[in-house]
């Protein structure tokens, strides 16, 4: 009996020690980020990163121009937003002159791929950004958290080892991080930034090394009969309220001033609320991202109706990888296949 108690006590101590170390690693990453930004800020026009918000389960973008605000910067699994869209979409940087100093930005693995895609398409030049790369273990989906436990008033949210710890009005909830990660993270092959000037923290281990794991959700849908797949998408897209949050959040959806949903000549879409109009919008949106989508999942994250719209882009990404051997956002010098034209191409 005593031996068993000793073993359990030793195991508990070992787990506590691991959690303490992981918490220290996360705190060290924050301190390293603060130090590096403080050193770089005089040479930057501004720094774009994440800061804690009024909701402990979510962070908010922050634009830093003075050293006093650096302490607000944070990093970790609660930093879900892809910030790269702020580099190319109005109105965030409208006041920044073209000849200004570089802009600093924090990126996770998938975010860095979006940055590469923007450089490939000449929306940015490499010398205009100072990239602070942060390896990513996955980001928390607050909706999954709310489905796991009934929350009243969350006072704090911290990540320790593989656990999300919530202080909810005096009640402590300890949730396995794996159970509340964003869907996109579960098959991630690029958790470490593919492009960066400085790297903060320890490298993360990819959750996937093959297409089967990365695209398992796509494969699961494709195994269903055609009628069932049609019913699935009719049911999902029927809930779309056409708020266009998916378009607005996508860092690669850069033609908002000429978007098909708002142009009248030519008039591609009406304001009718039927499924045909919703289908047309989502599939045109997806086709515009064919060979460009980096799988950051912003479109799905911001959808107020929780429609898994990223699945459509994942299907196109799967086709691109299987047929053309191309994954978006990995090489700044590469030209995406669908942005090229070669009349002598033999593989068509």
Kindly report the number of other CB atoms within 10 A of residue 134's CB atom. Answer: 27
Per-residue pLDDT of the chain in tens (348 residues, 90 and over written 9): 544 544 445 444 444 444 444 555 567 889 999 999 999 999 999 999 999 999 999 999 999 999 999 999 999 999 999 999 999 987 666 667 777 899 999 999 999 999 999 999 999 899 999 999 999 999 999 999 999 888 888 999 999 888 999 999 889 999 999 999 999 999 999 999 999 999 999 999 999 999 999 999 999 999 999 999 999 999 999 999 999 999 999 999 887 677 887 777 777 787 788 899 999 999 999 999 999 999 999 999 999 999 999 999 999 999 999 999 999 999 999 988 888 877 776 665
Tell me whether strands 73-74 and 171-176 are parallel, antiparallel or unpaired. unpaired
pTM score: 0.87
Taking residue 343's Cβ as centre, other Cβ atoms within 10 Å add up to 5
Note whether 242 and 305 are within 8 A (CB). no
Residue extents of the structural domains in the chain: 9-141+181-339, 142-180
Q: Which DSSP helix (H) or strand (E) runs through 48?
A: strand 46-52
């Amino acid at each position: 009996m005593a031996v068993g108690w000793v073993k359990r006590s030793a195991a508990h101590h070992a787990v506590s020690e691991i959690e303490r170390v992981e918490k220290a690693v996360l705190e060290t990453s924050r301190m390293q980020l603060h130090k590096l930004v403080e050193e770089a800020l005089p040479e930057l026009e501004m720094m774009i990163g994440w800061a804690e918000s009024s909701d402990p389960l979510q962070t908010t973008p922050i634009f830093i121009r003075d050293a006093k605000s650096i302490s607000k910067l944070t990093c970790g699994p609660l930093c879900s937003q892809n910030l790269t869209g702020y580099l190319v979409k109005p109105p965030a940087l409208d006041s920044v002159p073209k000849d200004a100093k570089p802009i600093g930005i924090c990126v996770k693995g998938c975010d860095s791929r979006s940055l590469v895609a923007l450089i490939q398409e000449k929306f940015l030049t490499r010398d205009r950004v100072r990239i602070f790369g942060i390896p990513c273990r996955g980001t928390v989906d607050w909706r999954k958290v709310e489905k796991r436990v009934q929350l009243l008033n969350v006072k704090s949210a911290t990540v320790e080892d593989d656990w999300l710890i919530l202080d909810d009005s005096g009640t402590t909830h300890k949730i396995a991080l794996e159970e509340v990660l964003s869907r996109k993270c579960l098959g991630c092959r690029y958790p470490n930034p593919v492009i960066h000037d400085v790297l903060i923290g320890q490298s993360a281990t990819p959750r996937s090394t093959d297409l089967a794991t990365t695209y398992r959700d796509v494969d699961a849908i494709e195994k269903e009969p055609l009628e069932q797949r049609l019913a699935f998408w009719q049911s999902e897209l029927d809930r779309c309220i056409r708020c266009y949050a998916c378009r607005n959040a996508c860092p690669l959806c850069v033609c908002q001033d000429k978007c098909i949903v708002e142009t009248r000549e030519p008039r591609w879409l009406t304001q009718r609320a039927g499924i045909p109009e919703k289908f047309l919008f989502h599939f045109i949106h997806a086709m515009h991202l064919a060979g460009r989508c980096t799988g950051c999942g912003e479109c799905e994250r911001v959808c107020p109706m929780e429609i898994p719209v990223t699945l459509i882009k994942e299907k196109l990404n799967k086709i691109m990888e299987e047929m053309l051997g191309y994954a978006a956002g990995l090489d700044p010098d590469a030209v995406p296949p669908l942005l090229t034209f070669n009349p002598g191409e033999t593989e068509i």
